Amino acid sequence: MFKKPLFIILCAGIAFAGLSFVEDYHEGASIEEQGKILNIGDPAPEISFQDPEGNIRSLSDLRGKVVLIDFWASWCRPCRMENPNVVKVYDKYKDANFKQADGFEVFSVSLDRNKADWTRAIQQDNLKWENHVSDLKFWQSEAARTYNVNGIPATFLVDAKGIIIAKNLRGRTLESTLDKLTE
């Protein structure tokens, strides 16, 4: 007798919680920002945040290089599973000769909330490159909003001129794409 009303209340509660998450995720973003998708051929928007030591690191500082922008977080299991592949690619291409670029860099953008968790994951996963940034705002990160990232891991490959040349490359596909750009 009480099971059906309880079930309806439970479903309504779950639906409300889901809507609250969606509203929270998009809070402060305009309708235009929410719908903007960055495409191959678009300029990569600037990202400029603090690194774990408090220094400002900007994507534009890497202009002239091929850059993998890697959105991830310490709490994201698929991200952590992909990190060894990113390390392997970094090791292979950091000193490679590129046809139209002066090297390769990874620009890691964390969607963490907790600095200690973020820095611990960098150490644990041996993410040895220097460009780690975060505003520690979780899904409300300005970079995630600008790049319309709604799931991680998410990657954008940017050429020397700052143009997006590929998206969501992982593992062997990332390697084969970088192979085509080297001499």
> Could you state, in order of their start, the residue ranges of all structural domains in the chain?
1-35, 37-181
Residue 139 corresponds to which amino acid? W
* Crossing angle of the two packed helices 77-93 and 171-181, in degrees rounded to 10: 30
Q: What is the DSSP letter of 161?
A: T
Q: What is the pTM of this model?
A: 0.81
Which CATH superfamily includes the segment(s) 37-181?
Glutaredoxin (3.40.30.10)
pLDDT tens for each residue of the chain, 183 residues long = 445 555 444 444 444 444 333 333 333 334 344 447 899 999 999 999 999 999 999 999 999 999 999 999 999 999 999 999 999 999 999 999 999 999 999 999 999 999 999 999 999 999 999 999 999 999 999 999 999 999 999 999 999 999 999 999 998 999 999 999 998
Q: What is the DSSP letter of 98?
A: B
Token pair recorded at residue 57: 């690191």
**Beta strands 48-50 and 164-167, pairing class:** unpaired
Residue 80 corresponds to which amino acid? R
Q: What is the per-residue pLDDT for 183?
A: 86
Helices (H), strands (E): how many in the chain?
6, 7
**Beta strands 132-133 and 48-50, pairing class:** unpaired
For 56-108, the DSSP string reads EEEGGGGTTSEEEEEEE-TT-HHHHHHHHHHHHHHHHHTTPPBTTBS-EEEEE
